[in-house]
């Protein structure tokens, strides 16, 4: 082999050796690698504090409704029949803590226990009001309606002219409907009339 050829061959061998070394070179250490910042989760949207109206849409019990229930129902530790003949206990609850209908054999309860039942029952009334009323209400208007539903039942509320007028935006007409629900057993009862008048006054409060 000529010297030039030998030199060229040696140079080629050296170049190949360098290439092999480069191919087998271990990866750079983490200190040499570009440091990528940790993945940043998108910031959670800031929620505005809930308003009374938003709370009501979820069935919030209005304190004024509790006051009306306690004032007009009174408290009884033992079962009794209301003017319509329905077995009731505490502040007008018709079902016990387990959801069973009150009967003459229902065990007596304490006033704190009765208030727990009021809160439970009024929550159902609040949900009924929120689910059926299609117009914005003040706190007092919601409270009056919650007491109305608590006393008369969601079914009567849903089918009432009061609700129809209210959803039509006729607030004055709706207010005039409360007093029409003052009868039990076919008779006008003074206690029911006073309650309807209290609800009307609360509903119309500005």
Which residues are CB-neighbours of 160 under 8 A, at least 6 positions away? Answer: 177, 181
96 is catalytic: no
Beta strand 183-184 with 87-90 is unpaired
172 is catalytic: no
Distance from the first to the final alpha carbon of the chain: 114
Query: Of residues 73, 121, 140, 177, which has the active-site annotation?
Result: 73
SS3 74: coil
CA distance 6 to 13: 10
Query: Of residues 8, 55, 67, 82, which has the active-site annotation?
Result: 82
Residue 64's Cβ-count burial label (10 Å; 0-12, 13-18, 19+) is middle
Buried/exposed code over 147-164 (b: 16+ C-beta within 10 A; e: otherwise):
bbbbbbebeebeebebbe
- Which secondary structure element, helix H or strand E, spans residue 184, and what is its range? strand 183-184
Question: Hey, which residues are catalytic here?
Answer: 73, 82
């Amino acid at each position: 082999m000529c010297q030039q050829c030998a030199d060229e061959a040696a140079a080629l061998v050296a170049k190949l050796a360098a290439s092999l070394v480069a191919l087998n070179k271990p990866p750079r250490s983490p200190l040499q690698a570009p440091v990528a910042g940790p993945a940043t989760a998108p910031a959670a949207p800031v929620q505005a504090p809930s308003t009374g109206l938003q709370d009501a849409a979820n069935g919030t019990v209005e304190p004024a409704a509790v006051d009306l229930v306690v004032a007009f129902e009174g408290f009884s530790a033992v079962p009794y029949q209301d003017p319509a003949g329905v077995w009731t206990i505490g502040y007008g609850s018709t079902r016990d803590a387990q959801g069973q209908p009150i009967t003459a054999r229902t065990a007596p309860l304490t006033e704190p226990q009765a208030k727990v039942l009021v809160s439970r029952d009024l929550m159902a009334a609040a949900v009924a009001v929120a689910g059926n009323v299609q117009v914005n209400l003040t706190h007092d208007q919601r409270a009056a309606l919650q007491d109305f539903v608590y006393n008369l039942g969601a079914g009567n509320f849903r089918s009432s002219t009061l609700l129809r007028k209210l959803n039509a935006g006729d607030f004055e007409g709706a207010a005039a409907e409360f007093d029409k629900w003052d009868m039990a057993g076919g008779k006008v009862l003074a206690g029911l009339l006073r309650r309807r008048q209290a609800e009307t006054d609360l509903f119309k409060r500005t």
